[in-house]
Amino acid sequence: MKKLLVLFAREFPYNVSEPFLEAEYPLYKEYFDKVLIATNRPTAAGIRGKKTREVNDPAVEIVESCFNKDLRHKLAFLWGILSDPHTYIEFFRILFRHGANLSALRNMLSSVGKANLCARVARRRCRQLEAEGYQVVGAYAYWLIYPAYAAVRFNKKYYGGKLYTVSRAHGFDLYELRHPGDYILCRKYILNNLSEIASISENGKRYLLAKHPDCNMNITIHHLGARDVGTMKQVEKGEVFRMVSCARTVPLKRIHRLVDALAQITDIPIEWTHCGGGELLDDIREKAALLPKNITCHFTDTIQNTQVYDLYRENDYHVFVNVSRIEGVPVSIMEAMSFGMPVIATNVGGTAETINVGKSGFLLDEEYDDTQLVEYLRYIYNMSQADYDEMRRCAREKFEQDYNAIPNYHKFLRGLQEKCL
């Protein structure tokens, strides 16, 4: 029998989210005869609803669900909510534990509907593939939110709970405070019914064990990573100091704090490039326009992962900065380290695991003072070329040891293949 793995994603290959899958899916054919990626087709306009990546691999197939695509999907979405007993269990959980939080209720209904619709669409395609000689051997969720619920429902409803089910755990899908009403759908049910939770960081594992000590969890550590495009190069320290950041311009990423820190530096010529769009981009641009004349700012808006690599390849940036209030393990940091960039970042989530303090970069306090960031920027600017070269070497070395995507993904998939047999 040919081995079939079903993977539940959020929006891949739409939007620019889930860039990690771009490096992972080409490896699937080495471990499974086919991988079926069940994804939710977004309904938003612009880049959010645009199919940004083409998957041209005969071993990988995309099946889409979209609750307002047609009448059949609308009815299936509604039926998935009404027929799922967890809809009612979760309704009363929210009512009594979250004070009837309307945002949490909307999140719950949407998540139940999307998860059940995605599982239903995947099952329909699996029936066809089974008739062609394939055997479903496992369910893999890329996120520990509704895709993980879809994987568990898919396993229990259609395969009697016999499949090996695993979900990655990142940051957004891990820390409950990042969701409306601090609520994540069927949290304990998902944790208790997955065969494995593959956390991308030690911090994530500690969080789950402390937050849910009563759950029966098998938690492993599997780092994500950035692609190694072989671009470690010599970067000369000159008069102009080039700083880069990469994140969506949303409140928790605190990009405005970079403007606040730069406003305190009037004696160093700085070129700051920010990659990433979002709801606050126009406000940040307006604020940056008031910076001292020694500061030059460039904003790229929303760009794809491959464009970020092109930008890093074509420009000699001296330091990467991340001042987010909440993180899992930022892939943006891994990408910068792959180019040998020293990193200054807030000590949140698993970020501390990526930086050898004083050797490859520096950690800011979670609620840092602007002067702390200014001091680290000045320190790197004033380093000798030899010391700076060593810091770049250490950043690249850390990437090679822990965050090189291809070796990390091979290790994860090899283990998954063995467990699914």
pLDDT in tens, 14-42: 887 788 898 899 999 999 999 999 998 87
Alpha-carbon gap, residue 132 to 353, rounded angstroms: 45
pLDDT in tens, 195-214: 999 999 999 999 999 999 99
User: Which strand (E) or helix (H) includes residue 63?
Assistant: strand 60-65
Q: What's at 263, amino acid-wise?
A: A
Answer whether residue 49 shows pLDDT above 80. no
Could you tell me what percent of the chain has a pLDDT over 70?
97
Q: What's at 177, amino acid-wise?
A: L
Average pLDDT over residues 99-118: 88
Average pLDDT over residues 82-103: 85
Q: Identify the pLDDT of residue 114.
A: 93
**pLDDT interval class at 48 (50, 70, 90):** low
Bridge pairing between strands 134-141 and 164-169 = parallel
Average pLDDT over residues 129-155: 97
Alpha-carbon gap, residue 67 to 288, rounded angstroms: 41
Q: Identify the pLDDT of residue 182.
A: 80
Radius of gyration of the chain (CA): 22
Q: Identify the pLDDT of residue 399.
A: 95
The CATH class given to the 241-402 domain equals alpha beta
Give residue 404's Cα distance to chain centre.
16
CA 47, 337, 401, 350 torsion: positive or negative? negative
Please name which of 353, 156, 340, 325 lies closest in space to residue 234, comparing C-alpha atoms.
340
Q: Identify the pLDDT of residue 47.
A: 64
Plot region of 301 (φ>0 → left; ψ -120 to 50 → alpha; else → beta): left
Residues 284 and 249 sit within 8 Å (Cβ to Cβ): yes
Q: Identify the pLDDT of residue 104.
A: 85
Report, at the CATH architecture level, how domain 2-225+405-420 is classified: 3-Layer(aba) Sandwich (3.40)
Residues 328 and 320 sit within 8 Å (Cβ to Cβ): no
Write down the mean pLDDT value for the chain.
Answer: 92
Answer whether residue 163 shows pLDDT above 70. yes
Q: Which carries the bigger pLDDT value, residue 262 or residue 79?
A: 262
Could you tell me what percent of the chain has a pLDDT over 90?
75
**pLDDT interval class at 69 (50, 70, 90):** low
Average pLDDT over residues 273-284: 94
**CATH 3.40.50.2000 residue ranges in the chain?**
2-225+405-420, 241-402
pLDDT in tens, 355-401: 999 999 999 999 999 999 999 999 999 999 999 999 999 999 999 99
Give residue 395's Cα distance to chain centre.
21
CA 402, 406, 410, 416 torsion: positive or negative? positive
Q: Identify the pLDDT of residue 68.
A: 66
Q: Identify the pLDDT of residue 16.
A: 77
Alpha-carbon gap, residue 402 to 334, rounded angstroms: 9
pLDDT in tens, 112-134: 999 999 999 999 999 999 999 99
Average pLDDT over residues 275-295: 94
User: Which strand (E) or helix (H) includes residue 320?
Assistant: strand 319-322
**b/e map 276-307, b = 16+ CB within 10 Å:** bbbebbeebeebbeebeeebebebeebbebee
Residue 128 CB-half CA count within 13 A: 7
**pLDDT interval class at 234 (50, 70, 90):** confident
Q: What order do you get walking across the sheet with 270-275 strand by strand?
A: 295-299, 270-275, 241-246, 319-322, 343-346, 361-364
Residues 6+ away with beta carbon under 8 Å from 310: none
> pTM for the whole thing?
0.87
Q: Identify the pLDDT of residue 46.
A: 65
pLDDT in tens, 314-353: 999 999 999 999 888 888 999 999 999 999 999 999 999 9
